[in-house]
Each structure stands twice: as structure tokens, then as C-alpha cells.
């Protein structure tokens, strides 16, 4: 028994010994496994200076541990060229510059060549969609003091270009001309890998390491400016950045201050110019924030990899010529429209995009206008010897934007989103504008800080609607003073649905029987209408049915008895005078003598409706509008001939009253008083 136990014990010892040996062999480092990124670079004869840079900046230690990186490592030849400005010694390079070079060369994930521009969202890769032409690096510009605020920055992105990316954006076959338009001193695909990183070529690709990959590149790449930094540091854009500075803001970040345990309050710098909007969240004056690195950050941190902005910076001389048109300091809304017209949102627009047939930006790439360009970390900056003046400065809104006396009225147009609507460059408008003094005399004031209009000291709102804001009343007021042409017999319809008579020769406006003069008349530069400086506001027109009820009781009655409770937009009605409507006699024998329907008469209401419909046309006919003269059909299908002063029908000539004609009412109906009844066919 003792021997048996001893043999069993020896067997167990041998078994455990064999198991431990197998485990050791299982977890031994394979001979084929490469070292860490730092070890691989240390042993690479082409990257000794880059290795020195890693050591001097403390990144050697980080890259010797675990992780998941791709490095774009400059070769020794590249560094030798760069260090010529520093006496050929890397230790002469300032610490912040050297650290920037190293951090800007490092991105997350081991990116093989086929993933360099592959679409990425939250780290998931799609090799079939190559939109990701930028990669997030480890470089963040250090905090700095500006306007007594400690400003924090965001991660910088490094542009990468591949043939797959160019194919995705529609430039297949034009890679070289596109790339060398952006980087004229760098050859496209010199390394034969169908890819470049910023203005550098790849020397080697996909060098494997235990914790990632590294690529050899033939230039040292310094962290790029973003659009804001580029404009701030280039004297050619000094006028442009001075305008943008009107929209510069510093937003306090409590979370960043707390997480960094900062003794100073930390601020985010923006150039978007957020403004208050009544009873709603603030919105930006400028369409994009030129200081934003992580574009579309609300969607995904990875979104910046495939998004960018393009800005066209006018020459100082051309911009100063435009600014000379203002009679004082340009308003924020005026500058907002000007600046936004120089920005293309969301994606870089390459020359082959902008010069393709039908492109609205084709003329920008006349080489006599494009002075220079810079690829930046969040897009592209073009320096142009031109100014892209939007239609708001050429149409009926121009006087409002150029003349400071219209500042309150300008904000009213902005508040109801009409400035751009009035400036499409095609439609004809007649804008009735009020200067600040006139609005003040009406008790109307505007507080820019709260974006609020008041009238007689209280919020200008519809008092019967508890949910109404001042925007409702402003819209109602402004839309009654904007008429859209072309003129029809001297009339144009306001956005409120009322026809307004405009006498351009005598500087008169007529509405609801009231004549109003205007003191100034400015023709739109692009021929799309006129701006009038108003001496008084236009009256509110009466509803057409209420007007008829008050002035033509019998005609109103037959409309109601025929089942018509309103006359619709863009209708013309020929009013039968009360003297011609005799109840109980032909052709009104379907009515009793008191004007009610005679129920004993067969189809009485239908017969009455036929008469009424003979006097209604479903289009507007102004007596001075020769374009509508001729045969027209009434609602009943009867053909009549409209001649302006007269109407011809089967009964002969019917005259239109020389005074009571072209009567315009609130619902867009035109009324004419005639002297006879239009007889049905």
C-alpha cells in the first residue's frame, strides 16, 4: 500500500511538471512577433532622429507599452531637412514645437493602407466608403490667454488623401491634378502607394509592431492651423478676420475647469456669434464655427474625419471697397450675410467640383481671382481677389442693410426670416420700409440683447393668444408692407394677401381707399423691385364679405342665399348695384320680396348660384392690366370679354364704374362695380 501511494505521488508530480512546462511554452513570445512601435523604430535605420524625438518628448515610454496606434514617422532625411533651421541638432528645437511634431504624427488604431481613408464611426470601419480624409491625432494646442480668458483647444486632425477617397468624391482619374492643385510643390503618389499624407509622400507603409503600425514619410509635418488660426496669422486676411471678430465669443466650460482642476476658468473660443432668439435656444449668426476642429461634434467625435469647411477670404482692398458703402458701422446682420456668402459648409470643394458645369462657384477658380490657398485642419482657405457680395446687397434689402437709420426694421426682417426671401435675385418685390424715427413714433422699439420688440413699452404680441410671441405681431406688421410683383395694372399683392396699388411716378401707395406717400424710392441694383421709405403705415384692409355687407347689402345677400360665405384668394367679383337687384322679379324671381329663398320655386338656390357665378372670375382682373384683356370664363362657365373699362357679354356692353373699381380686400379679392347684370348664356 505504501509503495502504491508513493508511485501515485510521483506520477502527480511528473504530471504537474509537464503541465507547467506546456503552459510556459504556450505563453512564450513567438519568434515572429515584432517588438513595440518604439522598439521597431529604434531598430529602423531610417528613423533614428524620429526615435530621438520620441525620447525627448516622453512618447518613447508610451509607445513601449501596450496601445493601438498608427504613426506617420518622418525619415531621417526628412528630419535633416527640417533641422537645417535649428543648426542640424534636434535638441535645439523648442520643446513645444518638437512635441507638436510627435503628437501630430500619432493617431489611434492600427490603420492598414486600405483603411487610411475608410469611413469611420465610433471606430467601426467601412472599406467601401472612403470619406474619412482626416484622422484625429494626439495633438492639442496648449491653453493660451486671449482677452483675459484662458482658452482651451480641441484635438487636431491630419489630412490624408488616397485614390479611393478621390474616387468617392467623384474625382477618379483626376487625383494628380486635384492633389497638386492643393499642394503644387508635392508630387502625387511619389511612393507608388496611391496615397499621400498632407504634403508628404509615403516611403514605406504598414511597418508592423506589437501595438500598431508605422508609415515612413518624407517630410516633417507641423500641426496645421484651423481656419480661424490661419486667418488670424495671415496679413492678407486682416480685414476678413476683423469682421469675423465681431462674432468671436468665449464660452465658459465648467466641466473642463473642474476636470482639469484648473486655477483659471477655462473657456471655449468660437467665431459663430450665437444670438438670443425669443423663447428658444440661441442660434449662430455665422453658419459654421471656423475655430471648430471637431466638425459636427453633436453627431459623433469621428464626424470630423469626413467633414470640413471651405472659406473664401477676400483681399483687403476688395473688402474695404464693400465696407465703404455703409453709412456707418455695418450691422451684425449685414456682416452675417456677407461672411456666410464666403463659406461652403460640410465638405471641402475641390476645383473639379467647383468648375463643373452648372456650379454656382465656377468663376471663383479663374486663376486671376484665386491668389492662394491653404489646406487647414478643419478645411480649406482660399485667398481671392474678389468679393462675393450676396443678393441681399443688390436687391430691395440693400438700403436696409447699408443705411443705419433702418436698423430696427432690418432686425424685424431678420426676425421673421424675410431678408433672404426678398433676395433670391429673380422675384420682384416692393418693400415698404420704416426708419428708426418713424418706428419710434409708432412706439416700436427693439432690444438686440434679448431679441425682443416692444410696442408702447410692452412686448409686441397678439394679446388674444397667450402662446404668442412678439414675432407674431412683427410678422403681421412686416408682411403687410412687402408686396410681390410684377405689377398687374399697377397692383401687387402683399405677403399678407392684400393687393396694394403702387404709383411709381408720383411716389404714392393706395390701399383701402387711403393714399400714402413715400419719401424715398430706391431701385434694386439687380432690377428686382423698389424700396420705399414710408411716411405712414398701410391700413389693414377689410374682409371682402364685410365690405360688401356694409356697402352693397343686396349683392351680399344674394351671395349668402346662394351659399357663398366668402370669396376666395385671387378672385374677381363684379358687383351688381342694389338698384339692379329687385327681389321677386326676373331674374331674381327665385327670391321672396324680403330677399329670402322662395322655396316654392324649383331649384331656386341653384338658379341663384348660376347668376352669382356669372359675376365671379377665378383670377384677378385689374382694369389697368392689359395682359388680361380679352375672353375670360366666369365660374359658371360663361365666356365674357374683359376690356378694362367695359365687359362684353351676350347682353351687350356692361360698364365698370370709373371710381368704384379695383377695390382690393384682405383676402386677395378684387371688386368692380358694374351697371348691368351679366346674363347667363
Mean pLDDT lowest for which of 418-432, 462-476, 608-622? 462-476
CA distances from 108 to 68, 72, 204, 213 (A): 6, 11, 19, 10
Cα–Cα distance, 132 to 303 (Å, whole number): 9
pLDDT tens figures, 404-414: 999 999 999 99
CA distances from 369 to 68, 315, 360, 383, 589 (A): 45, 10, 15, 8, 79
Cα 513 from Cα 501, distance rounded (Å): 10
- Rounded CA separation 675/318 (Å): 63
Alpha-carbon separation of residue 216 from 125, 206, 629 (angstroms): 23, 9, 80
| Distance separating alpha carbons of residues 620 and 625, to the nearest angstrom | 10
Q: pTM above the 0.75 mark?
A: yes
* 314, 390 contact by CB (below 8 A): no
What single DSSP character describes residue 371? E
What is the distance, to the nearest Å, from the Cα of residue 119 to the centroid of all Cα atoms in its chain? 25
Over 70: is that where the pLDDT of 38 sits?
yes
Judged by DSSP in three states, 573 sits in strand
Greater confidence, 459 or 605? 605
Q: Which helix (H) or strand (E) holds 381?
A: strand 379-384
Nearest to 650 by CA among 635, 622, 631, 670: 631
- Radius of gyration of the chain measured on its C-alpha atoms: 38
Q: pLDDT tens digits for 63-97?
A: 988 789 999 999 999 999 999 999 999 999 999 99
352 contact partners, CB below 8 Å, separation of at least 6: 170, 171, 174, 177, 178
Consecutive H or E run containing 483: strand 482-488
**What is the distance between the alpha carbons of residues 292 and 517, in angstroms, rounded to a whole number?**
50
- 13/5 Cα distance (integer angstroms): 12
Q: What is the pLDDT of residues 639-666, one digit of tens each?
A: 999 999 999 988 789 999 999 999 999 8
In this structure, how many other beta carbons lie within 10 angstroms of the beta carbon of residue 164?
20
CB contact set of 658 (below 8 Å; sequence gap of 6+) = 645
Contacts (Cβ under 8 Å, ≥6 apart) of 243: 319, 330, 335, 338, 339
**Backbone angle region of 405, left / alpha / beta, with phi > 0 → left and psi within -120 to 50 → alpha:** alpha
Query: Which of residues 556 and 361 earns the better pLDDT score?
Result: 556
Judge whether residue 307 has pLDDT over 90.
no
Q: DSSP labels for 187-233?
A: -TTTTSSSEEETTEEEEEEEEEETTEEEEEESS--PPPP-HHHHHHH
Q: Which is nearest to 672 in space by CA: 633, 619, 623, 635?
A: 623
Domains and CATH numbers, the chain: 37-140+151-217 (2.30.180.10), 227-389 (2.30.180), 392-534 (2.30.180.10), 544-673 (2.30.180.10)
Return d(Cα 282, Cα 276) in angstroms, integer: 5
In this model, does residue 578 exceed pLDDT 70?
Answer: yes
Contact (Cβ atoms closer than 8 angstroms) between residue 328 and residue 154: no
pLDDT tens digits for 370-394?
889 999 999 999 999 999 889 999 9
* Residue 357: predicted pLDDT: 60
Give the three-class secondary structure for 83. helix
> What confidence tens digit (pLDDT) does each residue in 326-371 have?
999 999 999 999 999 999 886 776 777 766 565 555 556 676 788 8
CA–CA distance, 409 with 406 (Å, rounded to integer): 5
CA 407/CA 399 separation, integer angstroms? 10
Q: How far is CA 80 from the centre of its chain?
A: 46
In percent, the amount of the chain with pLDDT more than 90 equals 72
Contact, 581 vs 679, CB < 8 A? no
Beta bridge partners of 152: 268
Q: How far apart are CA 263 and CA 41, in angstroms?
A: 39
Q: What is the pLDDT of residue 415?
A: 86
- 470 phi, psi to nearest 5 deg: -65, -20
Across 575-602, b (16+ Cβ under 10 Å) vs e yields bbbeeebebeeebbebbbeebeebeeee
CB atoms closer than 10 angstroms to residue 279: 11
Using the predicted structure, report yes or no on whether residue 18 has a pLDDT greater than 60.
Answer: no
Q: What is the pLDDT of residue 299?
A: 47
C-alpha closest to that of 669 among 497, 515, 553, 509: 497
Mean pLDDT, the chain, rounded, equals: 89
pLDDT value at 679 more than 50 = yes
pLDDT at 298 over 70: no
379-384 and 266-270: which strand pairing? unpaired
Question: Which region among 1-15, 410-424, 577-591, 600-614 has the lowest average model confidence (pLDDT)?
Answer: 1-15
User: How many whole angstroms separate alpha carbon 298 and alpha carbon 308?
Assistant: 15
Residue 146 has pLDDT above 90, yes or no: yes
Amino acid at each position: 500500500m505504501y509503495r502504491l501511494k508513493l508511485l501515485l505521488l510521483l506520477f502527480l508530480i511528473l504530471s504537474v511538471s509537464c503541465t507547467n512546462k506546456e503552459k510556459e511554452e504556450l505563453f512564450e513570445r513567438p519568434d515572429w512577433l515584432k517588438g513595440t512601435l518604439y522598439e521597431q523604430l529604434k531598430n529602423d535605420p531610417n528613423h533614428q532622429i524620429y526615435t530621438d524625438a520620441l525620447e525627448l518628448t516622453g512618447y518613447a515610454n508610451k509607445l513601449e507599452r501596450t496601445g493601438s496606434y498608427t504613426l506617420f514617422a518622418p525619415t531621417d532625411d526628412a528630419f535633416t531637412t527640417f533641422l537645417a533651421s535649428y543648426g542640424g541638432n534636434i535638441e535645439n528645437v523648442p520643446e513645444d514645437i518638437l512635441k507638436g511634431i510627435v503628437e501630430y504624427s500619432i493617431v489611434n488604431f492600427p490603420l492598414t493602407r486600405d483603411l487610411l481613408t475608410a469611413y469611420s464611426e465610433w471606430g467601426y470601419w467601412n472599406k467601401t466608403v472612403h470619406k474619412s480624409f482626416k484622422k484625429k491625432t494626439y495633438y492639442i494646442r496648449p491653453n493660451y490667454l486671449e482677452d483675459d480668458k484662458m482658452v482651451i483647444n480641441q484635438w487636431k486632425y491630419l489630412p490624408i488623401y488616397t485614390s479611393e477617397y478621390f474616387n468617392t468624391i467623384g474625382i477618379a482619374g483626376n487625383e494628380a491634378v486635384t492633389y497638386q492643385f492643393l499642394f503644387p510643390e508635392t508630387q502625387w503618389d511619389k511612393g507608388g502607394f496611391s496615397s499621400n499624407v498632407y504634403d508628404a509622400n509615403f516611403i514605406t507603409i504598414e511597418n508592423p509592431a506589437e501595438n500598431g503600425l508605422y508609415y515612413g514619410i518624407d517630410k516633417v509635418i507641423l500641426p496645421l492651423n484651423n481656419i480661424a488660426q490661419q486667418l488670424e496669422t495671415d496679413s492678407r486676411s486682416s480685414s476678413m478676420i476683423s469682421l469675423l471678430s465681431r462674432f468671436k465669443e468665449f464660452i465658459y466650460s465648467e466641466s473642463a475647469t473642474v476636470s482639469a482642476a484648473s486655477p483659471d476658468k477655462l473657456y471655449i473660443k468660437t467665431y459663430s456669434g450665437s444670438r438670443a432668439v425669443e423663447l428658444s435656444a440661441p442660434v449662430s449668426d455665422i453658419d459654421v464655427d471656423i475655430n471648430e476642429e471637431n466638425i459636427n461634434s453633436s453627431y459623433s467625435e469621428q464626424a470630423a474625419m469626413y467633414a470640413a469647411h471651405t472659406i473664401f477670404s477676400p483681399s483687403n482692398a476688395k473688402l474695404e471697397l464693400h465696407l465703404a458703402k455703409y453709412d456707418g458701422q455695418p450691422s451684425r446682420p449685414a456682416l452675417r450675410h456677407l461672411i456666410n456668402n464666403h463659406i461652403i459648409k460640410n465638405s471641402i470643394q475641390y476645383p473639379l467640383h467647383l468648375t463643373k458645369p452648372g456650379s454656382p462657384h465656377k468663376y471663383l477658380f479663374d486663376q486671376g481671382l484665386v491668389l492662394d490657398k491653404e489646406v487647414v485642419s478643419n478645411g480649406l482657405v482660399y485667398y481671392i481677389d474678389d468679393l462675393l457680395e450676396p443678393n441681399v446687397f443688390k436687391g430691395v434689402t440693400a438700403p436696409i442693410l447699408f443705411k443705419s437709420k433702418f436698423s430696427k426694421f432690418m432686425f424685424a426682417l431678420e426676425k421673421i426670416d424675410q431678408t433672404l426671401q426678398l433676395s433670391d435675385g429673380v422675384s420682384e418685390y416692393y418693400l415698404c420700409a420704416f426708419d428708426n424715427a418713424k418706428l419710434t413714433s409708432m412706439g416700436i422699439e427693439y432690444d438686440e440683447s434679448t431679441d425682443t420688440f416692444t410696442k408702447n413699452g410692452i412686448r409686441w404680441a397678439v394679446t388674444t393668444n397667450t402662446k404668442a410671441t412678439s414675432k407674431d405681431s412683427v410678422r403681421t406688421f412686416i408682411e403687410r408692407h412687402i408686396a410681390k410683383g410684377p405689377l398687374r395694372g399697377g397692383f401687387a399683392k402683399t405677403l399678407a394677401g392684400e393687393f396694394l396699388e403702387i404709383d411709381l411716378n408720383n411716389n404714392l401707395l393706395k390701399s383701402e381707399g387711403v393714399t400714402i406717400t413715400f419719401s424715398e424710392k430706391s431701385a434694386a441694383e439687380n432690377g428686382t423691385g423698389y424700396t420705399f421709405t414710408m411716411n405712414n403705415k398701410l391700413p389693414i384692409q377689410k374682409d371682402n364679405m364685410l365690405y360688401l355687407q356694409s356697402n352693397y347689402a343686396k349683392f351680399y345677400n344674394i351671395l349668402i342665399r346662394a351659399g357663398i360665405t366668402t370669396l376666395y384668394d385671387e378672385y374677381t367679383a363684379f358687383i351688381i348695384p342694389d338698384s339692379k337687384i329687385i327681389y321677386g322679379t326676373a331674374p331674381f324671381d327665385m327670391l321672396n320680396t324680403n330677399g329670402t329663398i322662395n322655396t316654392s320655386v324649383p331649384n331656386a338656390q341653384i338658379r341663384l348660384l348660376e347668376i352669382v357665378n356669372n359675376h365671379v372670375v377665378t383670377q384677378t382682373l385689374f382694369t389697368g392690366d392689359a395682359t388680361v384683356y380679352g375672353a375670360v370664363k366666369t365660374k359658371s362657365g360663361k365666356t365674357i370679354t374683359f376690356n378694362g373699362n367695359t365687359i362684353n357679354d351676350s347682353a351687350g356692353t356692361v360698364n365698370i364704374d370709373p371710381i368704384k373699381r379695383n377695390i382690393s380686400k384682405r383676402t386677395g379679392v378684387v371688386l368692380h362695380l358694374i351697371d348691368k347684370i351679366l346674363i347667363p348664356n
